[in-house]
Amino acid sequence: MAPHDAVLGWDEDTTAEAYEAFTRAFPMYGTTSRDLGRRARLGDSRLVLDLCGGAGATAKAILELTPATARVISLDNAAAMQRVGRRTLDDPRLTWVTAAAEDLDRHAPTAEVDAVVCNSAIWKTDVPRVFTAVHTVLRPGGRFVFNIGGGFAGVEHDDEKSAHPGPSLNRLIHQVAARDYGYAPPPTRPPAPKLPLEAVTAHLSSAGMDLVDAEVVAQHGTVAEKMAWLSIPVFARPDGDFTHAQRMEMLAKAYAQTIPDAQTVTSWLVVVAERPKVRP
């Protein structure tokens, strides 16, 4: 079963406002967006597509990395996220398109996009359909750069392996939920990785693209940042029949057991692909 943030809840004003506030207060999305943008080699780009662009954190990074004459399309199917983005990111080079990732080829000129960048969202899409659509819009030699959370990719960076032991904030939330709210998580086996590199490579090949590079990277943060992230309605835990207010009560009780400045580490698989150049 997919987490409740996989599809539902993104097109809601409360989520959009909280998400955008998080991107302004904490560096996670800005840092990862700039990393993806650098790997996409945007220096000579004329047209870049920000896929599943949300409220514009990645579009902002792309605009900073591209020439002044470049155009950027930020595509997302959540109108609420884009309403917040339009209010906070006003740039004549940026076009907001409300559409599903699987339909991106209907909203960009065929074989003219220099790069497609997708931050923290590719696993929520119909991956084979999206990869095929990306191939359609990319110019020959154009890059497709995206990242996948370590749990979904089945990878773990050495920094995460050696991180200070102790219960995570997620674990503490579930303990509080069980102790104070009668929460009984359904018995499940650890899920198999949704998008391991082998599957990604196979999907890219089927779509006519080449894998250029894949790297496991570590994202460093703090427990305070994790707490703020879990305050966003679509990320709040645990799953189950709880109100958002109850989830925030659980989060507060769990957070009180932590050291806010303690360091956290998450792992990500970063993938760089390319539409092959036309050979003479």
Domain limits, the chain: 13-158+191-220+265-274
Q: What is the pLDDT of residue 279?
A: 59
Confidence of residue 278 (pLDDT cuts 50, 70, 90): confident
Q: What is the pLDDT of residue 189?
A: 73
Q: What is the pLDDT of residue 187?
A: 74
Confidence of residue 8 (pLDDT cuts 50, 70, 90): low
Q: What is the pLDDT of residue 56?
A: 97
For the beta carbon of residue 271, count every other beta carbon within 10 angstroms. Answer: 25
Phi then psi dihedrals of residue 110, to 5 deg: -60, 130
Q: What is the pLDDT of residue 122?
A: 97
Q: What is the pLDDT of residue 205?
A: 98
Alpha helices in the chain (DSSP H): 13-25, 28-39, 57-65, 79-88, 127-137, 150-153, 158-161, 169-181, 197-206, 223-230, 244-255
Confidence of residue 23 (pLDDT cuts 50, 70, 90): very high
- Dump pLDDT digits (tens) for 157-177: 999 988 867 889 999 999 999
Spatial CA neighbour of 170 closest among 83, 79, 264, 86:
264
- Dump pLDDT digits (tens) for 234-254: 999 998 889 999 999 999 999
Spatial CA neighbour of 61 closest among 16, 118, 99:
118
Predicted confidence (pLDDT) at residue 3 exceeds the cutoff of 60? no
Predicted confidence (pLDDT) at residue 186 exceeds the cutoff of 60? yes
Predicted confidence (pLDDT) at residue 5 exceeds the cutoff of 60? no
Predicted confidence (pLDDT) at residue 1 exceeds the cutoff of 70? no
- Dump pLDDT digits (tens) for 213-238: 999 999 999 999 999 999 999 999 99
Confidence of residue 4 (pLDDT cuts 50, 70, 90): very low
Question: For 262, which DSSP code?
Answer: -
From edge to edge, which strands make up the β-sheet containing 71-76?
Answer: 94-98, 71-76, 47-51, 113-118, 138-149, 263-274, 210-222
Q: What is the pLDDT of residue 265?
A: 95
Q: Which CATH architecture best describes the domain 13-158+191-220+265-274? A: 3-Layer(aba) Sandwich (3.40)
Query: What is the average pLDDT across 268-274?
Result: 98
The strand pairing partners of 165, in sequence order, are none
Predicted confidence (pLDDT) at residue 62 exceeds the cutoff of 90? yes
Residue 87 tokens read as 């209010």
Query: What is the average pLDDT across 54-62?
Result: 97
Distance CA 87, CA 38 (A): 26
Mean pLDDT for the chain overall: 93
Query: What is the average pLDDT across 58-72?
Result: 98
% pLDDT > 70, the chain = 95
Q: What is the pLDDT of residue 214?
A: 98
Half-sphere exposure of 205 (CA within 13 A, CB side): 6
Distance CA 274, CA 165 (A): 39
Predicted confidence (pLDDT) at residue 193 exceeds the cutoff of 80? yes
